[in-house]
């Protein structure tokens, strides 16, 4: 028991940056695995694409460090847990972090697929409205819990577990040819 507690404190103390990085990569890959399973069940994709999941893992690894730095910075800039401060954190997250991480996701995944920067940016521009609309549905409530109740060292881990749902959505959007705006009525 003592060994486990020591390892836990090391992972979420001394090695927090590494923990956040690896969990970001691993959970983005899990989101893609789930989405590919859904595609298989629906008959959309008969074969599992391990390279696709590997690309998601690498993109997740690349997003772990900036997520880590962002949440540490956010707690330094807005240290209290009042409703006003939590609102400021959520707005900062939604207006700065959300577009940045969506851009880095599409850019990283696109480049790993062999697209040019221009091609990856075009995909980002085409799919960002749907991603950002869904972002506003899932992340403000998630972040309210995060900023009120979750200790700083566990924030990226908490976000990563909620992110599995988000990552399934990202995998779906990333691999869908045509994306409609979820805010428009058909």
Cα 125 to Cα 110: distance, rounded to the nearest angstrom: 13
In eight-state DSSP terms, residue 106 is H
Q: What is the pTM of this model?
A: 0.82
Q: Which residue has the higher pLDDT, 59 or 24?
A: 59
Mean pLDDT value across residues 84-107: 96
89 vs 93: CA distance, rounded Å: 6
List pLDDT tens digits, range 143-159: 999 888 988 778 777 87
Side-chain half-sphere exposure of 130, counting CA atoms within 13 A: 19
Mean pLDDT score of the chain: 87
The residue extents of the domains of the chain are 2-174
Please tell me the distance from the alpha carbon of residue 22 to that of residue 62, in angstroms, as a whole number. Answer: 9
Per-residue pLDDT, averaged over 60-70, amounts to: 91
Q: Specify the pLDDT at position 1.
A: 62
Contact 47, 184 (CB under 8 A): no
**Residue 58 and residue 25 in contact, taking contact as beta carbons nearer than 8 Å:** yes
């Amino acid at each position: 028991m003592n060994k486990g507690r020591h390892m836990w404190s090391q992972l979420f103390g001394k090695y927090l940056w590494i923990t956040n990085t690896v969990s970001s990569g691993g959970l983005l890959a899990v989101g893609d695995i789930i989405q590919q399973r859904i595609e298989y069940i629906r008959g959309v994709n008969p074969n599992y694409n391990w390279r696709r999941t590997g690309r998601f893992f690498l993109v997740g690894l690349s997003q772990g460090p900036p997520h880590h730095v962002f949440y540490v910075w956010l707690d330094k800039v807005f240290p209290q847990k009042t409703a006003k401060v939590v609102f400021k954190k959520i707005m900062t997250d939604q207006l700065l972090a959300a577009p940045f991480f969506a851009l880095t996701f599409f850019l990283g995944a696109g480049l790993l697929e062999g697209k040019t920067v221009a091609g990856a940016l075009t995909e980002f521009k085409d799919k960002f409205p749907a991603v950002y609309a869904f972002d506003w549905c899932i992340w403000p409530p998630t972040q309210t819990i995060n900023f009120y109740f979750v200790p700083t060292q566990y924030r990226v881990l908490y976000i990563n577990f909620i992110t599995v749902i988000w990552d399934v959505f990202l995998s779906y959007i990333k691999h869908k040819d045509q994306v409609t705006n979820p805010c428009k009525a058909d």
